[in-house]
């Protein structure tokens, strides 16, 4: 896609391919009231002097307060704080009632149980298109050692969930599967009986194996996304790990893309495949995805909300 024909939504999705951490930026308004918002446009800038930056949309309700603040803080959320991210991404009036926090030396709100925090003096406000860049000079900070909360391609991810999924499958034969999505459609194999693309794996990196298989199958460039289902197949004795994946444009060499919400009467190779496709159709419609842990008939879904990151 050339810049002359750029679609803002497509550009935002492309930017979203880069995994980031998730932060809540905090400050105080002129009356001394705490304000805060979720942002993933944060990066370190310099060690000497100690500088960092975060980007803020000019349309943000916090624009006037943040650009006029003398100090602000960056709270790097830990992997257990998805609810905090969502709270500060929505127009909730009393956001701070939902989180445990205290004041830093400059008075900025500092959250408990974060991966790290930085309290900064405003160094510079830089114009940057439809955003401004808030450059901060770090005056105090702390690093808890907790893992940070991740965000990429419209969804949260956490290191703990990924490690649990892989360890859950180490004791049996592993079958890797993928919900390969493109523009709201899912790649399915077969004509009368439909199935998701799957491959067996004995060793090696599962995502690399799956990517190699999918690219050979489709003849397209494949990007492996987040875990989607981890379950024990009682009928086949296998451990199943299913990922979400996306592909480049073009017709696949095998399979076809179909709208999942139009497949309620379709015949699938297994009941678990039918359940995965039906769940994906439902979750796509509301914009909230989860990871299923269990077996073919019963399990739990851990929600991984896909909406909420804004600056």
Assessment of whether the complete model's pTM goes beyond 0.75? no
* Closest to 177 in 3D by CA, of 257, 258, 241: 241
In angstroms, how far is CA 176 from the centroid of its own chain?
A: 21
Q: Parallel, antiparallel, or unpaired: how do β-strands 267-268 and 193-194 relate?
A: parallel
Instruction: Please tell me what DSSP assigns to residue 249.
Output: S
Residue 16 is predicted with a pLDDT of: 66
Residue 165 is predicted with a pLDDT of: 53
Where in the chain are the domains? 18-152, 156-305
Q: How far apart are CA 98 and CA 224, in angstroms?
A: 34
- Report the DSSP beta bridge partners of residue 71: 121
Residue 248, CB-side half-sphere exposure with 13 Å CA sphere: 10
User: Counting beta carbons within 10 angstroms of the beta carbon of residue 37, is it exposed (0 to 12), middle (13 to 18) or buried (19 or more)?
Assistant: buried
Residue 14 is predicted with a pLDDT of: 77
Cβ proximity of 179 and 276 under 8 Å:
yes
Q: How far apart are CA 182 and CA 96, in angstroms?
A: 38
Q: How far apart are CA 238 and CA 261, in angstroms?
A: 28
Residue 5 is predicted with a pLDDT of: 67
- Mapped onto helix, strand or coil, the DSSP state of residue 147 is coil
> What is the residue-level pLDDT of the chain in tens, covering all 311 positions?
455 566 777 777 777 667 788 999 999 999 999 999 999 899 999 999 999 999 999 999 999 999 999 999 999 998 888 889 988 988 777 889 889 999 999 999 999 999 999 999 999 999 999 999 999 999 999 998 888 887 766 666 665 555 555 555 455 578 899 999 988 899 999 999 999 999 987 666 778 888 999 999 999 999 888 888 888 887 777 888 899 999 888 999 999 999 998 888 899 999 899 999 999 988 888 777 878 887 777 777 766 544 444 44
CATH superfamily of 156-305: Nucleoside Triphosphate Pyrophosphohydrolase (3.90.79.10)
Count of other CB atoms within 10 angstroms of residue 193: 13
What architecture (CATH level 2) is domain 18-152? Answer: Roll (2.30)
């Amino acid at each position: 896609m050339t810049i002359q024909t750029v679609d803002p939504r497509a550009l935002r999705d492309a930017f979203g391919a880069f995994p980031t951490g998730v932060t809540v930026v905090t400050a105080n308004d002129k009356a001394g009231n705490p304000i805060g918002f979720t942002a993933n446009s944060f990066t370190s800038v310099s060690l000497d002097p100690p500088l960092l930056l975060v980007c803020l949309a000019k349309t943000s309700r916090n624009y006037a307060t943040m650009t006029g603040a003398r100090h602000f803080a960056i709270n790097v959320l830990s992997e257990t704080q998805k609810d905090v991210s969502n709270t500060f991404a929505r127009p909730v009036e009393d956001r701070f009632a939902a989180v445990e926090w205290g004041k830093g030396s400059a008075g900025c709100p500092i959250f408990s149980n974060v991966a790290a925090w930085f309290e900064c003096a405003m160094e510079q406000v830089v114009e940057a298109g439809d955003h401004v860049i808030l450059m901060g000079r770090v005056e105090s900070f702390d690093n808890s050692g907790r893992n940070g909360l991740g965000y990429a391609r419209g969804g949260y991810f956490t290191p703990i969930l990924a490690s649990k999924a892989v360890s859950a499958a180490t004791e049996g034969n592993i079958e890797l599967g993928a919900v390969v999505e493109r523009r709201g459609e899912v790649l399915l194999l077969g004509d009368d009986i439909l199935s998701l693309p799957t491959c067996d794996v004995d060793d090696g990196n599962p995502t690399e194996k799956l990517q190699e298989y999918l690219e050979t199958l489709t003849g397209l460039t494949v990007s492996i996304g987040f875990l989607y289902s981890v379950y024990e197949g009682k009928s086949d004795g296998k451990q199943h790990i299913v990922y979400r994946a996306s592909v480049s444009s073009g017709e696949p060499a095998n399979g076809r893309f179909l709208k999942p919400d139009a497949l309620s009467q379709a015949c699938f190779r297994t009941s678990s495949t039918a359940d995965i496709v039906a769940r994906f159709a439902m979750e796509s419609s509301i914009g909230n995805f989860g990871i299923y842990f269990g077996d073919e008939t019963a399990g739990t879904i851990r929600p991984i909300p896909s909406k909420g990151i804004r600056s």
